[in-house]
Amino acid sequence: MPRVLITGALGQVGTELTLALRERYGVSEVLATDIRTPSPDHPAASGPFKLLDGLDAAGLLSTVQEQGIQEIYHLAALLSAVAEAKPALAWHLNMQSLINVLDTAHACQCRVFAPSSIAVFGPDTPRNLAPQLTSLRPTSMYGVTKVAGELLCDDYARRYGVDVRGLRYPGLISASAPPGGGTTDYSVQMYHAAARGEPYTCFLSSNTALEMLFMPDAVRATLDLMDAPRESLRYPNAYNLAGMSLTPAAIAAEIRRQLHRFDLPHFEVEYAPDPVRQAIADGWPSSIDDAAARQDWHWRPAYDLRRMTGEMLSALTHHPTGGIIHGT
């Protein structure tokens, strides 16, 4: 049973991954870290927690050594929309923190999970079913850091034998934590607005199709990838991952179809595309080919739009028979 450290444990992925890893390995075996203190009701506060900045190389190394850490899940990053506003900070934070994690893993013989993203793709990537192997020329700073991160992980694996793995996450939808400044945040915000009985103004156009994934599927994919035999992985740190190709209009329509189940009022949506986020979205594929993940480690998503919408509205309205299912 490995001792685990999570960076960025208070973020959207970190919140649910912390829960899943503690369910799997035991609360005491998973050290959650972030640059801010969790609220008492946050999953990270349910067990060991430490303030830790991924840019603090010495602090990271000493923590891993003192705690006997064997696996690092590196989730700390500046996401796409925020990175466009602060490109220099995004490059420094995303790249230097990854270098620090990989150096620590090399020194301490740790395994690493370091996620990539749909943001690695660019305008010259096929819009439909973006291949596993294709041109990676993103037009956002977040995408640039993710492409560089994939190459850096390749180098540490080749040069030092570090077992580092990652997934190209699509847009992730979760009820357990607020989104953190990504281009697909509209989807989570839409569910929250509907659950409050409020209208919503979407920052992407109604017909902008992007690959999405419900967070329980993303968590399960993460754990399944880490469980897979290393020799079976052709693209260990950069597997395409897909769930549902969705537009804002499709999500809004499914929400309306299920409002009666939760006694919610009619849901109104207006569209006012934000130039920065719309430009990022227009450079990403509308769907992704994840055949390699399906073949190499038997990946299959469990959620479609209907099931996800029921789970989201149930969780956000605290419906007694619903809720998010972690790691299923």
H or E segment at 185?
helix 185-196
The CATH number that applies at residue 305 is: 3.90.25
> What residues have CB less than 8 Å from 316, skipping those under 6 apart?
175, 191, 192, 195
Rounded to the nearest angstrom, the gap between the alpha carbon of residue 135 and the centroid of all alpha carbons in its chain is: 22
Q: Domain check: are 297 and 311 in the same one?
A: yes
* In a domain? residue 97: yes
| Nearest Cα to Cα of residue 243 among 271, 209, 277 | 209
pTM of the model: 0.93
pLDDT at 322: 36
Per-residue pLDDT at 114 exceeds 60: yes
In the chain, the largest separation of any two C-alpha atoms, in whole Å, equals 58
Please state, rounded to an integer, the average pLDDT across all residues of the chain. 94
pLDDT of residue 182: 83
Angle between helices 305-316 and 248-258 (to 10 degrees): 60
Say what the pLDDT of residue 319 is: 63
Residue 44 has pLDDT above 50, yes or no: yes
Say how many domains are in the chain.
2
Q: What is the mean pLDDT of residues 99-110?
A: 98
Catalytic residue numbers? Answer: 142
Give yes or no: residues 83 and 187 share one domain: no
Residues 165 and 176 in one domain: no
Residue 67: which CATH number?
3.40.50.720
* Residue pLDDT, tens place only, 48-68: 999 999 999 999 999 999 999
For residue 37, pLDDT beyond 50:
yes
Q: What is the pLDDT of residues 121-156, one digit of tens each?
A: 999 999 999 999 999 999 999 999 999 999 999 999
For residues 182 and 92, membership in a common domain is answered with no
Report residue 79: phi and psi, to 5°.
-85, 180
pLDDT in tens, 302-312: 999 999 999 99
- pLDDT, one tens digit per residue, over 250-260 is 999 999 999 99
**Strand positions, DSSP E, the chain:** 4-7, 30-34, 49-51, 71-74, 111-113, 116-117, 164-165, 167-169, 171-173, 200-202, 210-214, 239-240, 244-246, 269-271
CB 245 within 8 A of CB 129: no
How far apart are the C-alpha atoms of 292 and 299, rounded to whole Å? Answer: 9
Tell me if 324 is assigned to some domain. no
Q: Which of 240, 259, 291 is the last residue of a domain?
A: 240
Same-domain pairing of 254 and 222: no
Could you tell me whether strands 171-173 and 71-74 are parallel, antiparallel, or unpaired per DSSP bridges? unpaired
145 with 273, same domain? no
Domain membership of residue 179 as a residue range: 172-212+244-316
What would the pLDDT profile of 60-96 be if each residue is shown by its tens digit?
999 999 999 999 999 999 988 889 999 999 999 999 9
Could you tell me if 113 and 74 are in contact, meaning their C-beta atoms sit under 8 angstroms apart? yes
Q: List, as one string, the DSSP characters of 141-153.
A: HHHHHHHHHHHHH
